[in-house]
Amino acid sequence: MNRKVVLVTGASRGIGRATALKAAAQGWAVVVNYLHNHAAADEVVAQVRSAGSAAIAVQGDVAVEADVLHMFAQADALGSLAGAVINAGIVAPPLMLVDMPLERLQRMFNVNVLGAYLCAREAARRMMKSGGGEGGSLVLVSSMAAVLGSPGEYVDYAGSKGAVDTLVTGLAKEMGPEGVRVNAVRPGLIDTEIHASGGQPGRAWKRGVNSPLGRPGTAEEVAEAILWLLSDAASYTTGTHLEVSGGLR
Ligand code: NAP
């Protein structure tokens, strides 16, 4: 099969979902990874198919290597992997570092850091020209938290996204000669369910009004930046961290 495939982790909801739908509209076949929410992932797959593109849903925890290998094997069956959006990520309820239990720290770093590294490794292995690939584009979803540090809220999350930023810097240099571009987006306050999952359902609006643009962003606005980085329009852009934050810094 000779179609252009993009794998999007955490594509059942939020930024990943918006990315999957915009990618389909631009002709990509889409692998929709999710963790628990079968119904939401199936709905994304149905929408991609109704837009005329191919899609499959693949359940898997990005923090588990066997799951990551399985999801990339499923992508191989769909066609040639030309794009990967490494988006799945978690937050946790606000706490000072001094109060954070080990289990929370381990899960945060396993999902947001180990998960990103495993997915980036599998994507790069498939795309690198010296390995028989045809090149491609990786987009990692970082956060403005990597710059701001998120004190009093979640310095663990902020540090995990700092690791993602550094991965992008190094992997872009490794993969440039291999025809693979590697970039990050750093969303600011985006109106998705992630804030409720961290026990702060109103957070995006409460804080987003203080950004220079005076509101939180939408998942679709972040997806626009991701799709640009995936596309050939960004053919000379690699190793960058594109802020999509309404000017928040
Ligand atoms: P969201 O609405 O909470 O959606 C999270 C998605 O990730 C869901 O599809 C979820 O699957 C999936 N997921 C969670 N843990 C996973 C795991 N271990 N393995 C595989 N999939 C997993 O989140 P979002 O706001 O769209 O955030 C997406 C990314 O943007 C994250 O990396 C986040 O850190 C980053 N970001 C978000 C904001 C913001 O304000 N929203 C700001 C900066 C950065 P299920 O549906 O199955 O649970």
* 147: containing domain: 4-243
Q: Is 37 in the pocket of ligand 1 (CB under 6 A)?
A: yes
**How many domains does the structure of the chain reveal?**
1
Q: Is 35 in the pocket of ligand 1 (CB under 6 A)?
A: yes
Residue 2: predicted pLDDT:
56
In a domain, 211, yes or no: yes
In a domain, 248, yes or no: no
Residue 14: predicted pLDDT:
98
d(CA 12, CA 210): 29
Residue 240: predicted pLDDT:
98
CA nearest 56: which of 37, 84, 75, 28?
A: 75
In a domain, 203, yes or no: yes
In a domain, 210, yes or no: yes
d(CA 189, CA 196): 13
Give me the tens of pLDDT residue by residue for the chain, a chain 249 residues long. Answer: 557 999 999 999 999 999 999 999 999 999 999 999 999 999 999 999 999 999 999 999 999 999 999 999 999 999 999 999 999 999 999 999 999 999 999 999 999 999 999 999 999 999 999 999 999 999 999 999 999 999 999 999 999 999 999 999 999 999 999 999 999 999 999 999 999 999 999 999 999 999 999 999 999 999 999 999 999 999 999 999 999 999 999
Phi/psi at 237 (5° precision)? -115, 115
Predicted TM-score (pTM) above 0.95? yes
- The enclosing domain of 159 has a CATH number of 3.40.50.720
Q: What is the DSSP string of 21-83?
A: HHHHHTT-EEEEEESS-HHHHHHHHHHHHHTT--EEEEE--TTSHHHHHHHHHHHHHHSEEEE
Tell which one of 70, 192, 193, 245 to mutate to probe ligand 1, the residue whose CB is within 8 A of the most ligand atoms: 192
What is the CA 174 to chain-centroid distance, rounded? 20
Report yes or no: 57 and 48 within 8 Å, Cβ to Cβ: no
Three-class DSSP category at 168: helix
What is the CA 136 to chain-centroid distance, rounded? 16
Residue 227, C-beta contacts closer than 8 angstroms, at least 6 positions apart: 19, 22, 23, 26
Which residue's CA lies nearest to atom 8 of ligand 1? 10
